[in-house]
Structures are given as structure tokens and as C-alpha cells.
Amino acid sequence: KILPVVKKQHLLLCTLLICNAAAMEALPIFLDGLITAWGAILISVTLILLFGEIIPQSVCSRHGLAIGAALAPVVRVLVWVCFPVAYPISKLLDLLLGDKHVALFRRAELKTLVDMHGDEAGKGGELTHDETTIIAGALELTAKTAGNAMTPISDTFAVDINTKLDRDLIKLIMEKGHSRVPVYYEQPTNIIGLILVSGCCPYSKFYYYFTLLLTTFYTA
């Protein structure tokens, strides 16, 4: 409903400004014939400020799309009413400024917008906290390197290729909580592969790690 109305941006802008100016000028003129000049000024300023600025901006800032869709037919009528005046002005603006205005956000602005949704998760927004975390993480990928996701070899839980896979070691692996465990030969820096923790679950007897070993690449 909204897209066809806002497609011609300058025509819509001219229409709304013409209607706004007409309403602001007509109200004090109308009241001037009913009450004193000072009374007309006070009442018109109060009504315009309250119903033309404060309330619309407060409500539309939160429910702008819904209200815009509901009032789209009314705006269409106003466009046709103001067309003789608004159209020439809009074409002049198209000629001077161009007829396409695309608002693009920078990466930091998008992240801030997503963070705002995360802060309001569960308070009426449709994005959950986990979803906003994933989106924000994706926006930060260009600023991160593989080193940010790596774990130093000295802090890594690894096992020797000749270690027996008994119940105690399976329990220890499960307690570590890793999905994959590096396997080394003779020294921890000599990584020769890895094992999938999920593959350890069916084993209850003694097995050597090479029966579960997957080849991997390692850079010192």
C-alpha cells in the first residue's frame, strides 16, 4: 500500500507540505471570525502543535508503517487534489535533484540499528535476542581475522595418538565440552588430525584414537 504512494517522492513531499501549509494558514483565519485575534492565535498554535506535531510524531515514530498503510488511500486523494500545483514543483525538484533518493546505511549504523532491536527483544519487536546477535556478528566479520576465532595451542585440549580411549577419557572429553579434539604425535605442537566427540559415544571398550582419526591441516 505504501510503496506506490512513496514511489514519486517529490510529488508526495510537495503534496504533504501544501496540505500542511494550507491547514496551518486556514485555522487561524477561520478562528479569527469567531473569537478575538489573540484567542485565534493561541488556539491555533496549541491545536497545530498538539495535533499536527507532537501526537503524530510520537505515534508514527513507533507505528509509522501501519499508520502509513492505513492512511495511504487518504494520501492518494490529497495527491490528486493538489496535483495541479504539486506536480510542476515536483518535476522541477526531479530535474534539479534527481528523482531517486536511496537512503543507505553504513555498517556501523546498521549494527546500531540491530543492537536497538536486541535491546527491545520481547517488548514488541519481531527479532529475538539470538537473531540480533547473529546479524550483528555477521556485520562485524569484515573487521575480524581468523586469529580472532583461534585458540592458542597451549590452551588447547588435545590427546596423543597412542592414548587409549577408555571410559575415563571419554568422560574427560565430554566434560571439556568440545565438539572436536585435536590429536598429536609425540608433542602437542605436532597435530596430525582430530576426532569428532560424537564418534566417541558408542565406544565403551579400549580403542586407539587412530580408529576415529580425521585428517586435518595445522599451521604452527
Q: Which three cell numbers stand for residue 4?
A: 506506490
2-11, 96-105, 126-135, 165-174: lowest mean pLDDT where? 96-105
Spell out the long-range contacts of 16-21 with Cβ–Cβ below 8 A and sequence spacing 24 or more.
16/75, 16/78, 18/82, 18/85, 18/86, 19/78, 19/82, 20/52
Q: How far is CA 145 from the centre of its chain?
A: 23
DSSP 36-76: -HHHHHHHHHHHHHIIIIIHHHHHHHHHHHHHHHHHHHHHH
| Domains by residue range for the chain, with CATH | 2-97 (no CATH), 107-146 (no CATH), 151-211 (3.10.580.10)
SS3 95: helix
List helix spans (H) across 98-215. Answer: 107-119, 129-139, 146-149, 167-176
**pLDDT at residue number 202:** 54
**pLDDT at residue number 125:** 60
**pLDDT at residue number 49:** 84
pLDDT in tens, 111-123: 888 877 766 655 5
pLDDT in tens, 41-75: 888 888 888 888 888 888 887 777 788 888 888 88
Confidence of residue 201 (pLDDT cuts 50, 70, 90): low
pTM of the model: 0.49
